[in-house]
Amino acid sequence: MGAPSAALPLRARGPLAGLSTSDRLAIVDRSSTTDPTVRSRTTAIIDRVRAEGDAALFAFARDFDRVELPAIEVPRAAWEAALNSLNPALRAVLERSARNIATVHQAFRPVATECAPEPGIRIGRRPDPLARVGIYAPGGRAAYPSSLLMGAIPARVAGVGEVIVCSPPGPNGLPSPVVLAAAALAGVDRVFAIGGAGAIAAMAIGTATVPRVDRIMGPGNAFVAEAKLQLVAEVAIDAPAGPSELLILADKTANPAALARELMAQAEHDPDAAVIAVLAGEPTAMAALANALEQEVLAQLALAPRAAIVREALAARGAIVWVDTVVEAIAFANEWAAEHLLLVVAPSVQATALAALRSAGTIFVGESSSVAFGDYMTGANHVLPTAGAGRSYSGLSTLDFVRWTTWQEVSPDAADRLSHDVGLFADAEGLPAHAAAARAWSTSASRATDGSPAV
């Protein structure tokens, strides 16, 4: 195993096969490590919203946000003012991002389909937009207008009837001006100055002011994530979410400086962020690449405004490991199921590797495909599964803003052909009324002149 760097704290470093059981578990298991009282405190918040409605939301603003709200709902004039006062250059950036998000999600809209498994049987399936959805836009440590755009614009593209937004209030009782500007730009219907678990509960349960929604989207802190999980029986959610993640899968063709920039960018999100580089190739060469990568991270840390957060994240869940082949790296990547995966391998194996990667939230192909571009501007959605949920969940898309209605039609002739076999099937399950309903359509049964079974 390579010698660890004294200056760069990493949770694990060295050949993947040589990691201790505890080190491997530490980098694979990204389950929440938050305060164990989060669950009970979240339950209390939800119960209070259920019992007190708007009064609870005003109280939470006083207790958690240290502000006396003039109103829960933010007037449309305030969002429009925020948009109009936005720095013109920043407004142009948000508009470009919004256009790309709309273009990408329009291209991937679900479409109605139908088929005929047998003559006379028609089965159809159509996507029906949800009536109302709620978008959570985080506040606190930082405001994320990008997350609002990523939630609201696909909802609009999908045809959702009403889109509401909840975002924590600042000292003036309003969400961040840039979040309000993004809300205006995305064309949402209503905005509420509430945050945390209380906002999730309000959207899931409904209050006098905040309407109940059909689905809640958007990232948040541990309380937001816990509230979504506790309320999932009452409202659909996007996916279980946690701190940001990045897995870099690279070979000898990779530039250590570029890899270091990507590790830094994701680690600066949060002390609980998980970042890992998996290097594939001849062991001695990979150990050298790992050393070069560490030195690049150290150099960039020296100039990083959020260096303390990065160091904490690297020490808790950072790793640089290596394996002998790209195939082994892919196997580990599919097990790890990263939120973001950066693939930097030789062009000759790139397409094969991409096809074999099956559990990442989103894959960035090639060194120039920085994760930052996907976070803000490519148009692909950045609301993605974390903590291994990518093995069964996908990133947010227009599919999340529709429910599917299935319809079926059986002609009288087809009913005749089905009647005997369905009757036998129903008899086998001990359901005589089902059998009778099917056999009534047999040609041996008397029929009314309009083709329906006689009574």
Q: What residues act catalytically? A: 339-340
Distance of alpha carbon 221 from the chain centroid = 14
Residue with token string 């093995």: 391
Cα within 13 Å of Cα(6), Cβ side: 0
Phi, psi dihedral angles at 126 (to 5 degrees) = -130, 145
DSSP 370-381: -HHHHHHTSSS-
3-state secondary structure of 450: coil
Residues composing the chain: 455
| 245 strand-pairing partners | 274
Whole-number Å distance between alpha carbons of 217 and 222: 15
DSSP 412-447: HHHHHHHHHHHHHHHHHTT-HHHHHHHHTTSTTS-B
Whole-number Å distance between alpha carbons of 334 and 28: 11
Q: What angle do CA 406, 407, 413 make, to 5 degrees?
A: 145
Whole-number Å distance between alpha carbons of 302 and 244: 22
| 99 strand-pairing partners | none
